[in-house]
Every structure is written in C-alpha cells, then in structure tokens.
Structure 1
C-alpha cells in the first residue's frame, strides 16, 4: 500500500498567518458583505444596483480565497525549525548568512512557499537560493542560478530559532 505523500512544509508562524487570514475573512469580512448584499437586494432592481453587484463579486472573491486557504491549511505540513536534529546544515527553517564573491552579505530564512517574503529575507523552499543551499554546511560554496545569471554564495552562518 502506497503511503500518502508529505505536503509542502510551512513554519508554525506561517500556518498561524494562514489561519488568521481565514478566520478574518470568515468571521469579519464575509458577514459584512452578506449584510450589504442583503440590504442591497431589498432595494429593488438588482441589475443596476451597484452595492448588490459589487457585494456579490466581493463575496465570490472571499469564497475563492477561503477555499484556497482551507486547502492549503489541510495540505501543508507544519515543521518546527527548532526541532531540526542536524543544526550544522541548511534545512527547512534555517536562517542562513551568505556571502558572495565580493563579500556582500545576505541573510535569508528558508520558509514555506506560502510564507515567502523576499523583502523580509524569507525565501520559499522551492526558490533557486533555497534549492542551492539545502544540505550545505558552513564554508560550503553553492552556485545559484538567478534570472541575471549564475552567482556563487558561501554559507557563513546557520541558525535555527
């Protein structure tokens, strides 16, 4: 019998953010839109009622996002980086300091694809940088294929918080 494949990884804060967004949409935004649509529907002709038409459109958008979030929360596998047994190598959840050929430093954390935010230094598990440094130890050099060309990075530090 085949085992169920593991879902994409996500950190505990990443899962909490998905759940918070889901709860906000379901508990606050959707009920407000339902109230507006109900009120607008009682105003007569719906074909030219902007509140009704916008409300229905927004409700469909919210329902689509709720379905997406629900599916992601079911599919994702929560991985706590602090429980990583081999903290000397780069795995999911690692905070990594990298240096390029010019000794320019970059700090990244390897997180789930649903929680990536390059502006905050969070790179997705499937990103080119994450793929290149997976399994690396301090001192290892890895080439990263980027849109601007290939760049070499050296792993300077690894931590798991």
Structure 2
C-alpha cells in the first residue's frame, strides 16, 4: 500500500540536504523533501488524511490512514518562538483530511525573527528507498503531490 504525500505549504521544493539543520539534512528522522515557502501569512495543511499524532505550533505529525507518519516542520528552530505567530486549527487526536488547514503562520515573520522558514516534510521512520516520485525544484501549492511512500 502506498501513501501519496501532498505539499503542506506553497513554495519551491528542494532536497532535505538543503535544510540548515543536521537532524533533517542528514535524514536522521526519515527521508523526504523540504519546501522554501512563499512569503506572507499562509495556512499549512495536512499532507495526508489521517490522525494528528503530534501537534505543536511549529510542527505536526499526521499518521496516515494507510499507515505511514508524516512530519511537517514549519521553519527551523521555530520552537524558540514559543508559538508566537502560529495559530492552530486542530487538536492532537483529531482526524483530518488531506488539505485540511492545520496551522496558520507567516514565513516572512519567521525570517524577521532570524529563523529559516524552510519546511521539511518527512516520512518518519521510513527508508529512503521507500519514497518514490520526489518532486525537487518544483513550485507547489498546498495539496500538490510531493512524493509517495511505498509500504
């Protein structure tokens, strides 16, 4: 069974190795892609349908109904903002549809605070070879296909 992973934000896709954080750039938590977001206030949406397993203002994990778990991290070191500038629209444990609004945030404000706004989208605990159709160097809008996780 495979899981189609959609983009949680609008922007330009890039390799995880471009993320200025070794946890992501070295794929320590799993393989995936990163998105350099477009500026201004925006909604981050669920990349897959499933259940909200982890929810912080700056990051969330959705466990797909097909089994895989996808982490979306809104910027790097944004935990240091302590939720400032992030508005949550769901709660941990909620069932969500792909494309459903999870967090409203502003990448431009994140950068104004001195943090990178790049967004890793990671297939947690997956093997790199289980990802297919990775769309690097592509402009995406929320919901556009990023990659497929083959179980």
Larger radius of gyration: 1
TM-score tier, shorter chain, comes to: under 0.3
- As a proportion of its length, which structure holds more strand? 2
Please report the TM-score for the alignment, with normalisation by the length of structure 2.
0.22
Please report the TM-score for the alignment, with normalisation by the length of structure 1.
0.21
Bigger RCO (CA 8 Å, 6+ sep): 2
